[in-house]
Amino acid sequence: IAGITQAPTSQILAAGRRMTLRCTQDMRHNAMYWYRQDLGLGLRLIHYSNTAGTTGKGEVPDGYSVSRANTDDFPLTLASAVPSQTSVYFCASSEGPGRGGEAFFGQGTRLTVV
């Protein structure tokens, strides 16, 4: 049982470079989310998608973009990385808002922008 798979697990990236963090789920969940976790700040929502074909902005969307071409995949792209984007990124999925279900998390991607 895979659940949610994130790749890569860690990455060191030069500032200004473009990078895509991958996230795939096999639970046929409608909703998917990207959070970043920084020490002392908890988890902050970057972008989300309540169903394939739709996306929404979270609390800290600037500098990030997402797409949801199908149910299973929800990639997060940093168009031009900056050091403040150094963080641990978590992808999650759930049945969807209003359905009252739990969220399932991937193991995270540790990104360092230098």
Partner 1 sequence: SQQGEEDPQALSIQEGENATMNCSYKTSINNLQWYRQNSGRGLVHLILIRSNEREKHSGRLRVTLDTSKKSSSLLITASRAADTASYFCATDPSLYSGNTPLVFGKGTRLSVIA
Q: What span, in angstroms and rounded, lies between the C-alpha atoms of 33 and 101?
A: 14
Q: x/- binding map, residues 65-94, to partner 1, per CB under 8 A?
A: -------------------------x-x-x
CB 14 within 8 A of CB 114: yes
Q: What span, in angstroms and rounded, lies between the C-alpha atoms of 87 and 109?
A: 8
Tell me the residue type at 82: V
Does residue 102 bind partner 1 (CB under 8 A)? yes
Does residue 40 bind partner 1 (CB under 8 A)? yes
Does residue 62 bind partner 1 (CB under 8 A)? no
Least Cβ distance, residue 108 to partner 1 (angstroms): 6
Least Cβ distance, residue 62 to partner 1 (angstroms): 16
Candidates 22, 58, 63, 86; binder of partner 1 (CB under 8 A) is 58
Q: Which residues contact 94 (CB under 8 A, 6 or more apart)?
A: 29, 30, 31, 33, 101, 102, 103, 104
- The full length of the chain comes to 114
Candidates 21, 24, 48, 85; binder of partner 1 (CB under 8 A) is 48
